Structure 1
Amino acid sequence: MPLHRNCRRLVLPLIASAALALGIAPAGAADPAPFELPGPGLRITVKRGDAVLPIAQVPSLTAGDELSIKAELPEEQGAHFILLSAFLRGATNPPPKDWIKAAETWKPKEKDNSLRLTVPKGARQMTLFLVPDTGGAEGTIADAVRGKPGEFIRATQELNQASLDRSRLDAFMAAIRAQDNYHPEYLRSVAPALARSLSMKLNEECLSKVIELQASCLLENRDALVLADVHSSSVAETLTGAPTDLVLQLSSTREAGYGYYSPYIGVVRDLARIFGAFSNPQFNYLPTLSVRRDDGVSLLLNSAPSFQKPKSVMVVAMPAIEADSPPRLRNAAEGPVCAVRAGTVLPVEGAPLVYSTAYARDMKLLITAPDGKTLDLPVEPRANLGGYVLTGDPASAGFAGAVQGRLHGYWGFEPLEGPDFALQFPGESPWTIAGEAPTLVIGRDNPLLLKGDAPACVESVTIRQNGAAAQSIGWKVAGKDGLVLSLPLADRRPGELMVDIKYQGVAKPQTLSLRAYAQASRLDSLILHGGDDWATLSGQRLDQVASVEAGGVEWKPAGLTRDGKVDRLRLAAQGALVPPQGETPARVRMADGRTASVPLTLAPPRPRVTLLSRSIARDKVDGTVALDFAGADILPDDGRIDFSVRGEGGTRFSPDDSIEVAGASSDAVLVRLTAGKGLRIEGPEVEVASLDASALPPSTFGALRFRVVQAGEAGDWQPLVPLARLPRIEAIDCAGESGCTIRGRDLFLIASIAETADFARSTQVAQGYTGSTLAVGAPADGKLFLRLRDAQEGIVSVSVGRKPGS
């Protein structure tokens, strides 16, 4: 199978030179052979003191260890192999002859076909050889080992490190393949955890691809996929330099027998220099990778052994002979861990080999409560979860609140002390608010900090109000006993709130009762003008004001208006008013019971005027029959009103005054009359205003009001006149005996038409009428009477005999 294109340029020269030195003839442009060929197997156990462990659980050997080694060959094995062991003690110190032992694997007796060895004092490395049986093979291998011990030491270190790297890569790929076959959608969360646990290089761009392509992308080796494991490679780095670099090849066909993704490993080291130094015409040396499971060692070869000269000697690396150095596992949890049930994950970092080998064994979690009660629970490593997982159930122990946990077990033969964990279990103590209770305000999210026994064990937090459906909310653990909430009160109402906090494994949640308030009002000012029996409170959210007490008088809301972002609340005095002097403190009481203070400021009297007289004029409109407004208090939309006002209570007029006109339903000013622009002063106490209806915004109709403004202070609004839009009557035909026909435009502006002024009999005009003619009864005295839709209190008339324009 081909290597990735970027890797081939680096790997091919090294593999080719290695192949030449090992006696393998290159086949033109053939790809280098990966370690995919299964070789023989071995059964190895190690005894230290009274303990016996399979080789998969032994990270290193030590002087005095007793080894039992036996080749595992098929019964029909045709070629005889000699199993040879060699202890090495240094690159410049050849081993004695009795440190090299051999067994004839085909012999029937166990004492002849297996090795029983004791690691001698002073040994630093151990290498095994499987040698085809030829006369004198043992002596030839022994001479090579004793002649160049340093080369064999280095080869053993390299192959042992490569086997450990292979174990990590196998674990990574097996987990990726499992997710791809069963749960491909989980790769986005599983792959990063696997990469961290096993110290693999992760291409995060793969996780943005479609699901079907994620796994194959993750397993591509664009650079080096396996990163250095500081713990396992420290000795090799010290003696030999950079750690082993592994290159991954992929097969994407099921026909190959490996599923969709199959690993092939090539050791990119200077194998030619290592093994070529002691190859000879009789033997070449074939490196192997060791896959260790329990007491079995499966060998993987990158080329088939040769049984012709030069015959292949399979080289098997054994663990280094050194003091056990258990890794320093680190607690990777960001806070307390809830250990209420089996399956709890204890995040662990710092040693990839705990996930890919069996070196860490009999791992348990020792839980210790403050009262001294303990419980030891088994755990197992899970690389895809990034830590150890509880396989025992802690619920039966009855722990509550905060307890301590410590991982412990064995690293090979030696005790392994793991990190401490802050564990938590649900308790019965109620949740409380941390510190002073905050004022919760509706219309926004409100932060809330709670204190409790086991925030890490909180399973859900919900909020409910007045029997409505509960709403789930998010939370965050803060410290050892804190729970940070964000209460979503944007769409809530003032009143009682219930927050339910449910623990894992506890059926009934704990309930915390809180109260939410309307957003606090902003009180800017309270102003009372001299001579008024009402005051104005300015600010925001003044709809919450229930009453105001100032100057010994109670004031009640009498109308709220909004000017942009400012509320203005009119307050009416509820008793006899004694004008206060200067600023008097006022106490504002809100509808929810809260109170606040604002000063009451006495301001100068506002302008006071009375309407003296008014007159309405209308210009002729060509092409229409004129309406007679005599006696009707109506300003037509094509007319003009002149009116005069007189100052009262000391009000005197000046050229800076203005008169504002507004509609009945809003204080929004429609027209402002000023000196020279519709306003003239007759004298200090009287001024005359002129308002043309055409100056009003289009579609204005209904009652109009006016007020006088002096020096920024406005007087009271007073009624002025109703404004009516007029229909355009073009002709009235009364030739027939049955009645009259009115022709024209905008006839929908007529509410009703009658033959007499008392409207004893009238014709109603439907709302939204779009016709151009109306049939009505014949008039009694030559006139028809109309009520206009915009001003139905007044009556206008039209003469039947009139012609358009008359």
Structure 2
Amino acid sequence: MKLLCRWILSLGVFGASHALAASAAPFDLVGPTLEVTVSRGETVLPIAQAPHLASGDKLWIKADFPENQSEHYLLVVSFLRGPTNPPPKDWFFRCETWKKKKRSCGAEGLSITVPDGAKQALIFLAPEDGGDFKTLVNAVRGRPGAFVRATQDLNQATLDRSRLERYLSAIRQLNAANPAVLKDTTPLLARSLGIQVDQKCLDRLPQLQAPCLMEGQDTLILNDGHSVSIVEALTTGPASDLLMTASATREGNYGYYSPYISSLLDLGRLFDSFRVANYQYIPALATAVGSQLTLTLNTPPSFHDPKSVLTAALPAIEKALPPPLHAVSPKDIYCARKDSLVLPVEGAPLVFATEYAHNTFLRVTGKNGEVIELPATADATRGGFVVDTSPLGNASLADRFRGSLHGYWGFEKFDGPAFQLVNTHTQTWTPASPEDQSLIVGRANTIHLQAGSVACIDRIMVKDPTGKELRVDWSPVKANEVEINLPLQQAQPGALTLFVSQYGVSEPQPLELRAYPEAGRFESFAMHEGETHGMLKGSRLGDVASLSLQGVVFVPTPSSTMVEGDSLRMEVAPPSASDAGTEEAQPAPKLQQGTAAKAKVTLRDGRSYTVNVSVAAPRPSVELVGKSVQASTRTNESNISLASEDQLPQDAQLIFSVRAKSPAIFSREANIEVASQDEAFATTLSLANRGLTLADTKVAIATFDPAKAFGFSAFGPLKFRIVNEGVAGDWQPLATLVRLPVLQGLQCPAEADQSCKLTGSNLFLVKSVASDKEFKQAVDVPAGFPGRALPVPRPGDDGLYIKLRDDPSIVNVAALVAEHPPAPPVEITPAAPTPAPAAEQNALSATSSAPTPAAPAE
């Protein structure tokens, strides 16, 4: 649709006459220059500062032609009083500009008083001709409405062009100075001047942004109600029907773009209809700078019949309309101590594009009631008025106060918006949240600081623990809060010092922070209703010191390990020494199933984090009623009497009974899990596998055969728990699984000072052997002993005492009776032996002195 409207627009334009086509050409021909001032009472303004004229104003106009000007131009000023009321002949004033004699208007300029009842004013520059003045007067008086329309369209086109030229000029200057600033500055420039910017241009490389931003100049200027209200442009008549019909649709940008282009096209039609035999009228845009009015043409003037009459408009003669300025963000707070204070405003592009607003200032009041006026200058590239705060000097100001913009719009005073200002003063800077106090090294950190006001911050700097200064980016996010980006990728853990400098304060204010190593993540804390422990999920859980929930402190379980890889068991902290005798333990948090709560996790270095708490249904629980061990034949053959019922021989069978507590009865889905301490071995006893039998609805009998369930390498403490409908209860101690060696014999020599010999198999399962319960005289068995005989102490009255390697805390008794060798025969001394021969005596002596051979070791 948009392309269709543009095609219609083009068809309507280029299907017109040759004169109309010429009028659509750009205004790029520099014409003559006029000097114009306006006087009202005692005040004299250059034409650039006069947006309106009033009856009684005195105009001074002088044509500024070069000395070698060959063609003589007649300057004519005409006043109009409406489209249906031809002006009187005495409202036309002429000046022969080529006459430079003293007291001639060519030398001293043309002085005119705006007549009462006039509404528009036109300037004509006509080539000298015998009937030039009379012809011009008759043309204006004959068709006053056409010339009224011409003044309005020329004024509208001039105002719109001033905005466009200011925009293009600023883009060129910024691009020449530093193309990198275009991306940040162009949005401010466009807002100030009412220009439509293609945002895609700002995404290009800096070198390509400026050409893109200056493309499509016909659709850059947005509609400005203020300038339209100044000139009151007409939009009716046959000459504008086609163009206005096309542009009245949203696709034709109605309500978005200025009627600048349509005005120029209408002017082409309008002035083409003025052509007579010796004159044709061509439009001229009058650009005012100071007192100079430079005419710009889009059609080359002709000095052959029909000769060209240059037509330019002066400001409308009507009541002044002050600029509708308003603050961009009325709630923002600005620092009065800034060297160059910028107050963002919008709503009146002509304030930035023309000199109509002049002598502007910001008025503030000091503590003592002194009124101070600070010069203010409109700057489109900075998006508002730039205020010179140097007059404040040593002024006594309140901490917070207001300032208001004032100035002149032409001859009339105008009042602009008011702004909230603050004075620099010492204030406390605090982190916005506890998380902002925990900086992490190895990455960039973003923190928020709060104070009474952040408007006067000049600079923020940080020093790391080594004293190195780090570059800091910051930006205000609220009136009392600033966001700071700290680059701590290369920093070391330790103390950091943040320095906040404010305008007007010589010394920065320090703020001590601390950087920590990377902390773990803390996902959740899960517990069951009524319990005093729970599981914390996350990473780096070894750094956790405590967890606080509803005033109850949880600590990691002593010697706890993250058995599930990312979970830490935590239980209610025991009472401290100072609380001894008050309570045995803290109560469990009063949380019910489904409750959503928050807990605070505190690390060992003092940092704290918030974690979500989930409360599940109460876990099932049972109590151990009794247990018995059914020994096997192999167990009896071991010749070891176990001293504790908690010891379960590996080849024996354990039968134990449990009573239901929660729920109060056993369900058909309930089962008992039995596992080793590290859960490397586990089995399930259920009704289905006949490992569990219900004595009644509240008591169940469990049968556990460790050799079948775990094999012959399992040993150590065993635990059990109930599992009901997929929810497991707490583990409870069950027994200690022990492997038993087989003790076969104990042989003790007759001599009391010699050791005995213990024989058997799997003796490596023995930890130590002693003759007394206190193991004062004990023999330790080396780990992995492969032999079948051990030297052991002589047994006491109760026999030998054994500590098993699988449960060395229990002292057991070896059920062996020591075997003693028979006593040697008693020797009878003969009465009077007959001396033997010498040879026999020597042989007997040798035999009696030989040692008894030791028994061979097995």
TM-score (norm 1): 0.67
* Residues 227 and 525 of structure 1, relative CA distance in 2, 3 Å threshold: closer
| Other-structure match for 1:363 | 360
| Other-structure match for 2:390 | 393
- The structure 2 residue matched to 1:221, chosen from 206, 216, 220, is 216
Matched, 1:642 2:651: yes
- The structure 1 residue matched to 2:77, chosen from 80, 85, 90, is 85
What code does the residue aligned with 2:94 have?
Answer: A
Deviation at 1:276, TM superposition (A): 3.4
| Other-structure match for 1:413 | 411
CA distance in 1 between partners of 2:714 and 2:499 (Å): 55
Greater mean alpha carbon deviation, residues 159-168 or residues 7-16 = 7-16
What code does the residue aligned with 1:127 have?
Answer: L
Deviation at 1:39, TM superposition (A): 0.9
| Other-structure match for 2:252 | none
| Other-structure match for 1:204 | 199
1:83-232 correspondence runs (5 A) = 83-109=75-101, 110-113=103-106, 114-221=109-216, 224-232=219-227
Q: What is the SS of the residue equivalent to 1:341?
A: coil
Q: What is the SS of the residue equivalent to 1:348?
A: strand
CA distance in 2 between partners of 1:267 and 1:440 (Å): 59
Asked if structure 1 preserves the Cα contact closer than 8 Å seen for 2:341 and 2:389, the reply is no
Q: What is the SS of the residue equivalent to 1:420?
A: strand
Asked if structure 1 preserves the Cα contact closer than 8 Å seen for 2:40 and 2:58, the reply is yes
* Residues 83 and 19 of structure 1, relative CA distance in 2, 3 Å threshold: farther
- The structure 2 residue matched to 1:336, chosen from 333, 337, 340, is 333
What code does the residue aligned with 2:25 have?
Answer: A
Deviation at 1:194, TM superposition (A): 1.8
Deviation at 1:90, TM superposition (A): 1.7
Q: What is the SS of the residue equivalent to 1:156?
A: helix
Asked if structure 1 preserves the Cα contact closer than 8 Å seen for 2:158 and 2:286, the reply is yes
What code does the residue aligned with 1:674 have?
Answer: L
Q: What is the SS of the residue equivalent to 1:226?
A: coil
CA distance in 2 between partners of 1:796 and 1:651 (Å): 47
Q: What is the SS of the residue equivalent to 1:560?
A: coil
CA distance in 2 between partners of 1:443 and 1:565 (Å): 25
Encode CA deviations 1:414-470: one digit per residue, 9 max, x unaligned: 112111111122112445799xx9898969999988452x32223466889988988
What code does the residue aligned with 1:330 have?
Answer: H
Deviation at 1:62, TM superposition (A): 0.8
Asked if structure 2 preserves the Cα contact closer than 8 Å seen for 1:402 and 1:423, the reply is yes
Asked if structure 2 preserves the Cα contact closer than 8 Å seen for 1:44 and 1:55, the reply is yes
Encode CA deviations 1:320-364: one digit per residue, 9 max, x unaligned: 111221112101135112232232211011110111111111111
Aligned residue pair count: 657
Q: What is the SS of the residue equivalent to 1:179?
A: helix
CA distance in 2 between partners of 1:486 and 1:477 (Å): 10
CA distance in 1 between partners of 2:632 and 2:437 (Å): 53
Asked if structure 1 preserves the Cα contact closer than 8 Å seen for 2:630 and 2:654, the reply is yes
| Other-structure match for 1:319 | 315
Matched, 1:708 2:720: yes
| Other-structure match for 1:458 | 457
Deviation at 1:139, TM superposition (A): 1.1
1:357-506 correspondence runs (5 A) = 357-393=354-390, 396-398=393-395, 399=397, 401-431=399-429, 450-452=450-452, 454-459=453-458, 476=476, 478=478, 482-483=480-481, 501-506=500-505
What code does the residue aligned with 1:153 have?
Answer: V
Matched, 1:75 2:67: yes
1:674-685 correspondence runs (5 A) = 674=685
> RMSD of the TM alignment (CA)?
5.6
Matched, 1:793 2:788: no
* Residues 657 and 581 of structure 1, relative CA distance in 2, 3 Å threshold: farther
Asked if structure 2 preserves the Cα contact closer than 8 Å seen for 1:545 and 1:557, the reply is no
Deviation at 1:17, TM superposition (A): 4.0
What code does the residue aligned with 2:651 have?
Answer: D
| Other-structure match for 2:797 | none
Deviation at 1:688, TM superposition (A): 4.5
What code does the residue aligned with 1:200 have?
Answer: I
CA distance in 2 between partners of 1:374 and 1:716 (Å): 86
* Residues 524 and 709 of structure 1, relative CA distance in 2, 3 Å threshold: closer
What code does the residue aligned with 2:545 have?
Answer: Q
CA distance in 2 between partners of 1:226 and 1:475 (Å): 32
* Residues 415 and 281 of structure 1, relative CA distance in 2, 3 Å threshold: same
Larger Rg computed on CA atoms: 2
* Residues 440 and 355 of structure 1, relative CA distance in 2, 3 Å threshold: closer
Deviation at 1:35, TM superposition (A): 1.3
Deviation at 1:100, TM superposition (A): 0.6
CA distance in 1 between partners of 2:122 and 2:60 (Å): 14
Deviation at 1:641, TM superposition (A): 5.5
1:523-538 correspondence runs (5 A) = 537-538=533-534
Asked if structure 1 preserves the Cα contact closer than 8 Å seen for 2:23 and 2:299, the reply is no
What code does the residue aligned with 1:355 have?
Answer: F
Asked if structure 2 preserves the Cα contact closer than 8 Å seen for 1:463 and 1:473, the reply is no
The structure that is strand-richer by fraction is 1
Deviation at 1:230, TM superposition (A): 0.9
* Residues 212 and 448 of structure 1, relative CA distance in 2, 3 Å threshold: closer
What code does the residue aligned with 2:200 have?
Answer: E
What code does the residue aligned with 2:348 have?
Answer: A
* Residues 221 and 581 of structure 1, relative CA distance in 2, 3 Å threshold: closer
Question: What stretches of structure 1 of length at least 5 have no aligned partner?
Answer: 247-263, 529-535, 618-630, 632-639, 723-756, 760-790, 799-806
| Other-structure match for 2:290 | 294
Identity %: 33
Question: What stretches of structure 2 of length at least 5 have no aligned partner?
Answer: 245-259, 591-599, 609-614, 641-648, 724-728, 740-761, 765-780, 789-858
Q: What is the SS of the residue equivalent to 1:423?
A: strand
Q: What is the SS of the residue equivalent to 1:793?
A: coil
Deviation at 1:317, TM superposition (A): 0.8
CA distance in 1 between partners of 2:464 and 2:625 (Å): 50
| Other-structure match for 1:743 | none
Q: What is the SS of the residue equivalent to 2:61?
A: strand
Deviation at 1:91, TM superposition (A): 1.5
- The structure 1 residue matched to 2:274, chosen from 271, 274, 278, is 278
* Residues 204 and 76 of structure 1, relative CA distance in 2, 3 Å threshold: same
- The structure 2 residue matched to 1:46, chosen from 16, 38, 57, is 38
What code does the residue aligned with 1:708 have?
Answer: F
Q: What is the SS of the residue equivalent to 1:456?
A: coil
Greater mean alpha carbon deviation, residues 71-80 or residues 213-222 = 213-222
Greater mean alpha carbon deviation, residues 229-238 or residues 320-329 = 229-238
Q: What is the SS of the residue equivalent to 1:716?
A: strand
CA distance in 1 between partners of 2:306 and 2:567 (Å): 97
Q: What is the SS of the residue equivalent to 1:212?
A: helix
Deviation at 1:211, TM superposition (A): 3.2
Q: What is the SS of the residue equivalent to 2:481?
A: strand
CA distance in 2 between partners of 1:515 and 1:606 (Å): 52
TM-score (norm 2): 0.63
Asked if structure 1 preserves the Cα contact closer than 8 Å seen for 2:691 and 2:702, the reply is no
* Residues 484 and 501 of structure 1, relative CA distance in 2, 3 Å threshold: same
CA distance in 2 between partners of 1:335 and 1:217 (Å): 33
* Residues 651 and 643 of structure 1, relative CA distance in 2, 3 Å threshold: farther
Greater mean alpha carbon deviation, residues 456-465 or residues 101-110 = 456-465
| Other-structure match for 2:560 | 560
Asked if structure 2 preserves the Cα contact closer than 8 Å seen for 1:400 and 1:426, the reply is no
